[in-house]
Amino acid sequence: MPTDTAHPLVALSDIHVSFGGIKAVDGVSCDLYPGEVVGLLGHNGAGKSTLIKVLSGACHSDSGDIRINDQKAVIRNARDARAYNIETIYQTLALADNLDAAANLFLGREILTSSGMLDEVRMEDETRKIMGRLNPNFRKFAAPVKALSGGQRQSVAIARAVYFDAKVLIMDEPTAALGVQETAMVSELIKQLKSEGIGIFLISHDIHDVFDLSDRLTVMKNGRLVGTVRTEEVSKEDVLGMIILGKMPDHLEDGSEAGKPSAQ
C-alpha cells in the first residue's frame, strides 16, 4: 500500500453513463493510489466494465469528472488514456497469435533502424529486459504467443503495458480460465507491479480472484456504487453480501474511514 496518500493516481467522481435510457453507471465515484490494487466487483451487468471503459477511453460518460494526479483529465479514446499513462489489459489480451513476444510487445510501436528497417535485435533485447524484470522464468522468446500458456500470455500483455510506462493498469478478469499455477504466476506479476508503484484496477465478478490481491474493494450493483472497503476489514461473506444485497456490511455502515487506503 502507498505511504503517501495525499493525491490518488486516479479519481473518478460522480460518473454517469446511460444507454438508451438505461443507467449503466449511475453517479459512481472511486479512486486509486500508487502501488495499490483496487478490485472492482459486481455481478455481470453491475456496471463495473462500463465504468472502467470511461477511464480507458472506450466509452464516454454523460457527466462526471476524471482527475489524474489531481489534474482534470479529458479522455476521449484509448490514445488519450495512454497519454495519461493508463493501459488496459482486456480478458482477450489482444495479442497477435502468430507473432512472438517481442513482435507483440512492440506491435504498432515498432523500433526502427536508422535506415527505416525493423530493429528486431533491439526489440528482442528490450523484451528480454522487461520480461527479466517482471517474469524471470519466461524463456519462450522465439515462440509464437499461441504456443504460450495462459500465464505466459498475460506476462507478454503486462510487459507491453509496463514497457510503455503505464502508471495505471486496468486488468479485466486476468485469471479467468487459468489453472492454479497460472493464477499464481499472474498474482506474482501483480505484486511486482505494486512494488514498482503502479496502480491497478482489477475487474472481476469472482471474489476469490481478487480478495487476496486487492488492498481495497469497490462493489457495484445495478449501475450504482454499493461502497468501497479495505480488504483487511471485511470477509468474503461481507463482500458477497455487498454484491447480492447491495448494502455495506453492518460493522462499516457508519465508519467514515471505510474505503480509504491505509498508510503502511
- pLDDT values of the chain reduced to their tens digit, one per residue, 264 residues: 444 457 899 999 999 999 988 999 999 999 999 999 999 999 988 999 999 999 999 999 999 999 999 999 999 999 999 999 999 988 777 789 999 999 999 998 999 999 999 999 999 999 999 999 888 889 999 999 999 988 888 889 999 988 988 999 999 888 877 788 888 888 888 998 999 999 999 998 778 878 989 999 999 999 999 999 999 999 999 999 999 999 999 888 765 456 667 654
- The domain total for the chain is 2
Q: What's the pTM?
A: 0.88
9 and 81 inside one domain: yes
Q: How many CB atoms are located within 10 Å of the residue 264 CB?
A: 8
Residue 109 in domain: yes
43 and 174 inside one domain: yes
4 and 43 inside one domain: yes
172 and 68 inside one domain: yes
Q: Which of 36, 177, 35, 16 is nearest to 93 (CA)?
A: 177
Q: Structural domain of residue 73, as residue ranges?
A: 1-85+167-252+260-264
Length of the chain: 264
The three cell numbers locating residue 179: 489453472
Q: Is 214 exposed, middle or buried (0-12, 13-18, 19+ CB in 10 A)?
A: buried
- Choose one of 109, 143, 165: the last residue of a domain: 165
pLDDT score at 186: 85
Q: What is the pLDDT of residues 92-131, one digit of tens each?
A: 777 899 999 999 999 989 999 999 999 999 999 999 999 9
23 and 126 inside one domain: no
- Choose one of 165, 182, 212: the last residue of a domain: 165
Which residues lie below 8 Å from residue 134, measured CB to CB, with a gap of 6+?
Answer: 155, 158, 159, 162, 189, 192, 193
Q: What helix, strand, coil percent values describe the chain, rounded to 5?
A: 35, 25, 40
Residue 227 in domain: yes
174 and 227 inside one domain: yes
Rounded-to-integer distance, Cα 37 and Cα 214, Å: 5
Rounded-to-integer distance, Cα 101 and Cα 148, Å: 10
Residue 221 in domain: yes
71 and 190 inside one domain: yes
77 and 171 inside one domain: yes
Q: How many CB atoms are located within 10 Å of the residue 259 CB?
A: 20
19 and 66 inside one domain: yes
Which residues lie below 8 Å from residue 7, measured CB to CB, with a gap of 6+?
Answer: 69, 70
Q: What is the pLDDT of residues 195-218, one digit of tens each?
A: 999 999 999 877 887 898 999 999
Residue 153 in domain: yes
Q: How far is CA 31 from CA 160, 186, 255, 257, in A?
A: 24, 23, 18, 14
